[in-house]
Amino acid sequence: MPYEPPTHTVERSLRATTGAKIVAGVDEVGRGAWAGPVTVCAAVTGLRRPPVGLTDSKLISPRRRTELATQLEQWVTAFALGDASPQEIDALGMTTALHLAAVRALEALPVRPDAVILDGKHDYLGRPWKVRTVIKGDQSCVVVAAASVIAKVRRDAMMAELGAASGEYAAFGFGANAGYPSPVHRAALEERGPTPHHRLSWSYLDALPRWQHLKKVRISAEAAALESGGQLGFDF
């Protein structure tokens, strides 16, 4: 199915209404995974024409996504990544973990953005950043789509490397599922239990009686609600 290519419309609007000269796009990946960090990419592109085929990373085949990420990393003005670990997710909740990862990405940029376009409807970044949230921004905004693709490819590669680096983790299939729910992942959890890379506050442990004693109590109802709303889908 063809998709409308992303544009610079929102970025131009921000520049016109706020006087922002440097606008970053921010997107996350890994929110719904059972294992691995949540990763945020912050990208700055300017108003140049993007590479052909750019759109939300989930709408691009893995092979093409990898090729496009290589192009984008050379094409963007700047990009940086920030992670929040499974331990931080367990201790702080997903909203705060996303905030940490986003701030880490933005502060790692060589230039400080005057404004940020954030994918989705919830502003998990907050002050002092000037934020414009855009639902499906990873489809409609060039700068967010670029961040989406880079974040997805970088995190997938990290999870694949984790699975390949240790025979201990090979059974979990991280190279194929990137830490998200899958039959292979679930079977390995049932047999072996969670690894140090798993989120131990999440409800998948409720279905694993042998390992329920490892579950950690979430710190807030808000974090639990966000997690349960994001962890059930397959996003790989």
In the chain, pLDDT over 90 holds for what percent of residues? 81
pLDDT at residue 235 is higher than 50 = no
Residue 233 in this model has a pLDDT that exceeds 80: no
Answer whether residue 3 shows pLDDT above 80.
Answer: no
Predicted confidence (pLDDT) per residue in 44-77, tens digit: 999 999 999 898 888 889 999 999 999 999 999 9
The per-residue pLDDT of the chain, averaged, comes to: 90
Of residues 233 and 88, the one with the higher pLDDT is 88
The answer on pLDDT for 227 being more than 60 is: no
Q: Give yes or no for residue 229 having a pLDDT over 50.
A: no
* pLDDT reported for residue 220: 54
Q: 149-202 pLDDT, tens per residue?
A: 999 999 999 999 988 876 789 999 999 999 999 999 999 999 999 999 999 999
Output the six-digit token pair for 142. 């060039």
Whole-model pTM: value is 0.89
pLDDT (tens digit, 9 = 90+) per residue, 117-141? 999 999 999 989 999 999 999 999 9
Which pLDDT score is estimated for 166?
66
List, as own/partner pairs, every contact residues 117-122 make where C-beta atoms lie below 8 angstroms and the sequence separation is at least 24, other chains included. Answer: 117/10, 117/11, 117/14, 117/23, 117/24, 117/25, 117/26, 117/141, 117/143, 117/144, 118/26, 118/27, 118/144, 119/25, 119/26, 119/27, 119/28, 119/144, 119/147, 119/148, 122/95
Tell me: pLDDT of 98 over 90: yes
Confidence at residue 161, expressed as pLDDT on a 0 to 100 scale: 92
pLDDT-derived band at 218 (thresholds 50, 70, 90) equals low
